[in-house]
Amino acid sequence: MKIFCLLTLLAAFPISAKPNILFICIDDLRPELKCFGADHIHSPHIDSLASHGRAFTRHYVQAPTCGASRYALLTGTYGPTGNDALFERARSKKIIHPSLPAYLRQNGYSTVSVGKVSHHPGGRGGKDWDDDSQLEMPHSWDKHLLPSDQWQHPRGWMHGLANGEIRKKAKDMDLFQAQQGDDNAYPDGPSVDETLKQLSLLAKLKKPFFLATGILRPHLPFGAPAKYLTYYKDRPFPPIRHRKKPAGKTTWHGSGEFMKYNRWGKNPIKDPAFALEVRKHYAACVSYADAQVGKIIKELENLGLRENTVIVLWGDHGWHLGEHNIWGKHSLFEESLRSPLIIAHPSIKQQGVSTESIVESIDIFPTLCELSGLESPAFLEGDSLLPQLEDPSDKSDGTAISYYKKSRTLRTPTHRLIKHSNGHLELYDHRSPEGESKNLAKENPQLAQELRKTLEELNSLNSKPKQR
Ligand SMILES: [Ca+2]
């Protein structure tokens, strides 16, 4: 039955054999985009992409931290919970299954990565993340590039601020910054220049390509050229939802990553004016990232490649901007786990209509296999999103699993269940205005236990996230 449905869908999807794939990763981007309902955000290029494809408004990542989330995306499987997940996989010398780029490479694709795609920009380890003998994803990329430019090395680029400032200690850096200058005053500028150069080189090859480019902003510290802040100078921002620290045992935390950059010693929880400044600078970083997306897609069009290229835009996880009294990621609340996913191609029907189907990052690998006419390897743990590309009202499957440290969560179309290692449960009803601010596990123990069982059953079907 599944094979019949798949053949029907593929017949309805007239993509020529082995289209190119342009994969755009954006670091720490919550769905703070106009096309995802954030009307105060200036994001014209990503909005345009969504209008030519399918936006997944309920896409959930597997983990609210860069390395573990990218592991799940790039391997198509649930995995470890730490940032060094891909390095551990590489060091284990037990890589049985190919990564997404390795699989495409085995099947005739040129594979190139620029910027932050795996956890380390450029995909190498060592003190400055530039040691060619320590590859994060062996056998995966023809080229895994990161032009450090004035930031000296990939580690410097990763946390760089204007004009070559690199991180020595986070406490000595600006939490946010908007210096005058062009796009190349901040780290994404030269990386996107390299992406454009690689696109033009790939266009000359007589084989399909998988080009993955990783945009760094809006990752901390929030630095972007001053022109992007001007969009927000006098713009009203909506109130922060669910501002209170949740009661009881939860995955709440004290915003450690954010606070360590905060050399001004200000606290957005107690200082509403500062909180608004932080939100405006995050927004400026989103607009800077959006402008980079615009440059890449324009070059794709200039090269005449748009018609035969599947474009995927993916945020590696969400970010709390004050919701639940958190400024950061690293929780199992909606704000940390929901991120933008857009898939665009001329063959997609009802372009510009989003889907509310619950989907996960591990679904992307099998989707790209099917769009490329390749068999989906049996080890993949996600489901193809072709049904949602064919029909945005499709509600098939409808659950997402995520994990952080020793806690796990299940998102259904109506609820979120979080299970802690000591058995404690959190149950939230998304149909209620209280959402994830009121734990209903004691009020509705039957549903909590049913969802706990579902979570455990789904995990028995799939590999168990390793706890570290
Ligand atoms: Ca990230």
Q: What is the pLDDT of residues 207-225, one digit of tens each?
A: 999 999 999 999 999 999 9
Residues 6+ apart with CB under 8 A from 433: none
Q: What average pLDDT does this structure show over 395-401?
A: 81
Mean pLDDT of all residues belonging to the chain: 93
Selected catalytic residue, list 45, 59, 119, 320: 119
pLDDT in tens, 448-464: 999 999 999 887 655 54
Question: Cα dist. 133→119, 130, 137, 157, 468 in Å?
Answer: 16, 9, 11, 20, 25
Indicate whether 9 pLDDT > 70: no
Output the CA–CA distances (angstroms, integers) from residue 457 to 57, 154, 322, 418, 444, in the order listed. 26, 41, 34, 15, 20
- 426/417 Cα distance (integer angstroms): 6
How far away, in angstroms, is 414 Cα from ligand 1 center?
26
**Residue-level length of the chain:** 468
- Cβ atoms of 186 and 289 closer than 8 Å: no
pLDDT in the model for residue 255: 95
CA atoms within 13 A on the CB side of 177: 23
Q: How far is the CA of 336 from the centre of ligand 1 (A)?
A: 10
Ligand 1 centroid to 433 CA: how many Å? 28
What pLDDT does 468 receive?
A: 31
For the ranges 67-81, 120-134, 282-296, 388-402, the lowest mean pLDDT is seen at 388-402
Domains of the chain: which residue ranges?
Answer: 15-391
* CB contact set of 463 (below 8 Å; sequence gap of 6+): 77, 78, 79, 381
pLDDT tens-digit series, residues 412-431: 999 999 999 999 999 999 99
> Which is nearest to 185 in space by CA: 228, 121, 219, 220?
228
Task: For residue 119, indicate whether it is catalytic.
Answer: yes
- Structure-token pair, residue 314: 């993916």
Per-residue confidence at 270, pLDDT binned at 50, 70, 90? very high
Tens of pLDDT along 333-360? 999 999 999 999 998 999 999 999 999 9
Q: How far is the CA of 67 from the centre of ligand 1 (A)?
A: 7
Ligand 1 centroid distance, CA of 65 (Å): 6
When the candidates are 3.40.50.1100, 2.30.110.10, 3.40.30.10, 3.40.720.10, the CATH number that belongs to 15-391 is 3.40.720.10
In this predicted structure, what is the pLDDT of residue 93? 74
Q: Look at residue 466 and tell me whether its pLDDT is greater than 50.
A: no
Q: Determine the pLDDT at residue 94.
A: 75
Give residue 413 CA to ligand 1 midpoint distance, Å. 25
Centroid of ligand 1 to alpha carbon of 299 (angstroms): 26
The single residue of 25, 66, 285, 369 carrying the catalytic annotation is 66
Output the CA 295–ligand 1 centroid distance in Å.
22
% the chain with pLDDT above 70: 94
Expressed in angstroms and rounded, the spacing between residue 316 Cα and the centre of ligand 1 is 5
pLDDT at 2 over 50: no
CA angle 362, 399, 63 (to 5 degrees): 45
What confidence tens digit (pLDDT) does each residue in 112-158 have? Answer: 999 999 999 999 999 999 999 999 999 999 999 999 999 999 999 99
Q: What is the DSSP letter of 60?
A: E
Q: How far is the CA of 27 from the centre of ligand 1 (A)?
A: 4
User: pTM above the 0.75 mark?
Assistant: yes
Quick: pLDDT tens for 213-263.
999 999 999 999 999 999 999 999 999 999 999 889 999 999 999 999 989
Region for residue 331 given its phi and psi (left: phi exceeds 0; alpha: psi -120 to 50; beta: otherwise): beta
Distances (CA, A) of 61 to 14, 299, 320, 333, 460: 29, 29, 15, 12, 19
* Contact present, 377 and 88 (Cβ < 8 Å): no
DSSP, collapsed to helix, strand or coil, labels residue 354 as: coil
Distance 319 CA to ligand 1 centre (A): 9
Percent of the chain with pLDDT over 90: 90
User: How confident is the model over 394-408, as a mean pLDDT?
Assistant: 87
Instruction: Name the nearest CA neighbour of 335 among 270, 255, 280.
Output: 255
Residue 66 annotated to the active site: yes
Q: Rounded to the nearest 10 degrees, how much is the dihedral formed by the CA atoms of 411, 413, 416, 421? A: -30
Distance 8 CA to ligand 1 centre (A): 37
Q: Is the pLDDT of residue 296 over 90?
A: yes
1 pLDDT more than 50: no
Tokens 């510290």 correspond to what residue?
Answer: 221
**pLDDT surpassing 70 at residue 184:** yes
